Structure 1
Amino acid sequence: MKSKSFQNKLAVVTGAGSGIGRALVLDLVLRGCDVAACDVQQQALEETVALAVGSGKARAYCFDVADRAAFYQHADRIRGDFGQPANLIINNAGVGLGARVREMRWEDFEWLMGINFWGVCYGTQAFLPQLIESGDGHVVNVSSIYGMISGPLTSAYNAAKFAVRGYTESLRIEMLAEKLPVQVSCVHPGGIRTNIAKSSRLDAGAGMDRADFDKWFSRITLTSPEKAAAIIINGIRHNRPRILVGPDAHLIDAMQRTLGIRYQWLAGALLNPLMFGKSSAPQSRPVAAAQPPAAAMPARPAPGAAKKTSRAGAGRAKSAGRAQAEAENDAG
């Protein structure tokens, strides 16, 4: 397949004030692409534009991606400012939230969904007419490895990133079925060294303080924003429907495909320290299983059935042991 050129094209990048978004803007401008760089942080956005040097040009646009009306107004403004329809929209803006489901505040949940999910939808649908008009359009929506697997304290983030994945994959099918000139890619980054931890909210009931959370986050970030941007742009050039960013993303993709729903056992074993305060807590820390109420306890078997019950229990234990061993082997 012939690779895509960015020369003389127009791209829109959200979350461009730092991290992957900034790195994408700088790389695209070097490739001769004009870029509408968007972020809610004016100063950070202006720094990005000042750093963008190349045969393309970058302009700064400050607004909140969670504001639907603002996003549609932004699309109209871009069309007028650049005098051409957008060829590429990269919905990259995102925030994080660490909270237990039973203690999570609705206002925090809605704040995250407004940016991480609705912001992606608004950006996609506000610019889709321009992408079609361009004759060479591309939608790139940034999900996460947490759009493939779940973990503790990340239910809101998981909800948004799984939703982005489903929404984006459905859009791709529609564009192919209608034979419209728009490619669609869903990006799944692993741990990237960005400022998302600083912009994330951490519920007091999560069991960890900000310093501990930042320390844990720094340990799991394996890929630089510049490397992530290069991988994403290469994926766009080759019209890849799914773009995995970082070695951890490839590992988790393989784990989920291999283990299926059993990945939850491994995720629990690896991520349980997050549920008990310190991210540096030893993984061997015992966790007491909650006992069911007495009414839910099984009745004592009749004496004649004791041997049969014992043999069945042993068989189940043996099967569970085999499944656990297979999961450990696959993960390694």
Structure 2
Amino acid sequence: MGKRRTTISGRTAVITGAASGIGRALAQRLAAHDCPVAIADVDEHGLKETEASLRGPTLLRVLDVRDAAAQHDFADQVRQWAPQPLGAVFNNAGVTVGSRVLNAAPEDDQWVWDINFGGVVNGTRAFLPILLEQNDGVIVNTSSVFGLVGMPGQSAYCSSKFAVRGFTDALRQELRGTGVRAVTVHPGGVDTNIVRNARYREDPTGRGRTQQQVADDFAAITMTKPDKAAEIIHRGVEAGKSRILVGPDARIFDLLGRVAPTRYYDVLKWIESYQRRRSSS
């Protein structure tokens, strides 16, 4: 099935996780491209800050994506409000927790699964009927590079993002023959607040770092800013891509997962060790 270009600029867009990070950047970019935007997040303060940064028609909804009934109510609200046909739904809300499988807190893992995967499922099921009635539009679900490879200390996050990938791939095949598409987004390291907002009990690497130190270390290695991520996603959706890799590190992870599916972590550790030796020489 070849690429089918889709114009979402100028059409209504729905974005969850819009209080910060990629979600906020998407809202800003799409609003600048004449999209009425319906933004949702559990963080009301951050959501209002996003709203204040936008131009054009905006619908704000404080929303816990885990609540399926609330998602359906939001879809009904968007249907009534939208000044333009619905072009794209970005199921983008996400959280993380760092822990090893052996000592993980089950309630933390469930929190991650319910938001990262359950939220995507709820959002898809709520808005897909609108898109199918139009026979047009795009469901855009945010996975991760950790939906391409598994990493130690990230079992809950990886499993949720692999689930998003599998769910969206299956949906894509179900939508064959319709005017609706399903897209998976795999961001690499993007400079967002996801680590600062994580549930944190201890450093999963065993190095005793505080949550702030882990967040600072993450920020130091990120390769993509949210506005650049939003640009890549927007352009990728309109170019008809079914899978969008965000950032140069995403391409590296994708390649390693293909050529060294059981040894990619060894390769990554070797690269890290090599870089440390170079920087200290």
After TM superposition, the score normalised by the length of structure 2 is: 0.90
1:107–1:2 Cα change, 3 Å: closer
> Which structure has more RCO (C-alpha within 8 Å, separation ≥ 6)?
2
Query: Which stretch shows the higher mean deviation, 209-218 or 140-149?
Result: 209-218
> How far 1:122 moved relative to its partner?
0.4
Displacement of 1:271 in angstroms is 8.0
Match of 1:121, SS state, is helix
Partner of 1:99: 99
Write the letter of the residue equivalent to 1:117.
F
| Aligned 8 A contact 2:196 2:212 in 1 | no
Deviation (angstroms), 1:264: 3.5
What's 1:200 paired with?
198
Amino acid of the structure 2 residue aligned with 1:50: A
Amino acid at match of 2:60: A
Query: Aligned to 1:204, what secondary structure does the other structure show?
Result: coil
Aligned to 1:75: 75
Secondary structure at the aligned position of 1:265 is classed as helix
Q: Aligned AA for 1:209?
A: T
CA distance in 1, matches of 2:213, 2:192: 17
* TM-score after normalising by structure 1: 0.77
Deviation of 1:135 after TM superposition, in Å, equals: 2.5
Counterpart position of 2:212: 211
Give the root-mean-square deviation of aligned CA atoms.
2.0
Cα distance between partner residues in 1 of 2:129 and 2:16: 18
The structure whose Rg is larger is: 1
| Residue 228 (structure 1) aligns with | 229
For structure 1, the residue ranges without an aligned partner over 5 or more in a row are 273-281, 284-332
Q: Do the aligned partners of 1:68 and 1:122 also contact (CA within 8 Å) in 2?
A: yes
Structure 2 counterpart SS, 1:186: strand
| Structure 2 counterpart of 1:170 | 170
Question: Are 2:4 and 2:240, in contact at CA under 8 Å, matched by a contact in 1?
Answer: no
Letter in 1 for 2:179: P
Supply the distance in 2 between the matched residues of 1:2 and 1:70 (Cα, whole angstroms).
32
Instruction: For residue 57 of structure 1, report the CA deviation from its aligned partner.
Output: 1.8
Alignment partner, residue 108 of structure 1 = 108
The alpha carbon displacement at 1:83 in A equals 6.0
**Alignment size in residue pairs:** 270
Please give the secondary structure, in 2, of the residue aligned with 1:16. Answer: coil
Deviations 1:268-302 (A, max 9, x none): 65789xxxxxxxxx89xxxxxxxxxxxxxxxxxxx
Deviations 1:8-63 (A, max 9, x none): 4111100001111011011111111111001111111111111112xx42221111
Which structure: greater helix fraction? 1
Q: CA deviation at 1:234?
A: 0.4
Q: Is the 8 A contact 1:85 1:133 kept in 2?
A: no
Amino acid paired to 2:185: V
Q: 1:5 to 1:191 in 2, by over 3 A?
A: same
| Equivalent-residue separation in structure 2 for 1:233 and 1:190 (angstroms) | 16
